[in-house]
Amino acid sequence: MTDTSSSPGQLPDRLSTNPKSPYYDEALLTRGVGIKFDGQEKTNVEEYCVSEGWIRVAVGKTVDRKGNPLTIKLTGKVEPYLEK
């Protein structure tokens, strides 16, 4: 299991926007986290992992039967940063 705690100025290796996930961090998400994926800024990232090099992005407005957004996993270089 990876460490999800973050000290000031350092972001966790893995972070999710889903409150049911063990990688969810409301305080950090409130501050604002941006993602650059393969050099392009992404705004629809649901979850990321820097060490494994992937992001999960929502597929349009499609949801599953439980109301969660459908996502796809993309692999590449992940660079998280604080927006504020």
Is 38 part of a structural domain of the chain? yes
Query: What percent of the chain is predicted at pLDDT more than 70?
Result: 89
Is 9 part of a structural domain of the chain? no
> Does residue 76 surpass a pLDDT of 70?
yes
Q: Label residues 4-28 b or e (16+ Cβ within 10 Å = b).
A: bebeeeebbbbbbbeeeeebebeeb
Is 2 part of a structural domain of the chain? no
Q: For position 9, what pLDDT does the model report?
A: 59
Is 64 part of a structural domain of the chain? yes
Is 8 part of a structural domain of the chain? no
Is 3 part of a structural domain of the chain? no
pLDDT tens for 16-57 read: 999 999 999 999 999 999 999 999 999 999 999 999 999 999
What one-character-per-residue DSSP string does 5-68 give?
---TT---SEEES-TTSTTB-HHHHHH-EEEEETTEEES-EEEEETTTTEEEEEEEEEE-TTSP
Is 5 part of a structural domain of the chain? no
**Domain extent at residue 34:** 14-82
| Number of domains the chain contains | 1
